[in-house]
Amino acid sequence: MPAPINKLHAIALPFPRDNVDTDELIPVSENTRASMSGWGDGLFAARRYLDGAGRTPNPDFILNQPPYDRARIIVSGSNFGCGSSRESAVWALRDYGFRVVVAISFNETFKRNCIINGLAPIAVSRADTADLTDEIARDPSAGISVDLEHQTLHVGAPDRPGRVIGFDLDRFYAALLIGGQTEDDMLGALQNDIDHRRDTLAAAQPWLRSCGSILAQAE
C-alpha cells in the first residue's frame, strides 16, 4: 500500500519546463531493475550525473544543489510525464522522496501511475506555476504547503500562508491518496457491503440469480 498523504510542507524543486517526459525522469539505461523499489538514484540520471553509471554528481543540475536536493515537491510545466507509459518514472520520483508533483497538466497515464503509487498530481494554471516557481527560486527554504483535503497550496509554512492557490483534484483520487490506498484496497474494504447488496437484490429479485446461473453455464 502507498504511504498516506494529506498535509505536507516541504522544500520544492522549481523545474519550469513543458513536456518533461518519462525518458528524462528515468532514462532507458536505468530500466534494469527487477523490483518496484530502489529507483531513486536513477531519477534524472542523464542530467544528474556527469558519468552515468559512475554516479558523479553534476553540480550544475538543480537537484544536486542544496536545499533542492531535499525537495519533496516538484513544480513544472504542462504535459508532465509524457512519452512512454513506463511506471518506473513514478517509482523514481517516489523513491527519491517526492510526494507531490505540481504542474499545469499531466499525461493521463502518468497521472494514474502517480495515484496508485502515492504521489499527488496537482494541476494549477500557468500563471500560478510561474508565481510558485519565482517564489521558491527567490526563497528556496520557504517550501510549499499542500493540503489535499481542502485542495489548497501556498508558499511558506502551514501557519504562515501567503497567497493560497486552490486546485481541483478528483475527490476519489484524493481519498485514495489521503487514505494510503489503491483502488483494489478500497474495493476490498467495501467487499462486505457489496456482498450484502448483491444478496439483498437477489432475494428481492430472484430472477437475477437465475440469469447469473444461465450466463455462468453459457461460459
pLDDT tens-place string over residues 5-15: 999 999 999 99
CB within 8 Å of 159: residues ≥ 6 apart: none
| pLDDT single digits (tens) 150-171 | 999 999 998 887 789 999 999 9
The pLDDT of residue 208 is 64
- CA-nearest of 95, 146, 102 to 121 is 102
The whole-number average pLDDT for the span 86-114 is 97
What is this structure's pTM? 0.85
Sequence-ordered list of residues with C-beta below 8 angstroms from that of 29, at least 6 positions apart, any chain: 45, 52, 53
Instruction: Please give the pLDDT value at position 211.
Output: 57
The predicted structure's pLDDT at residue 26: 97
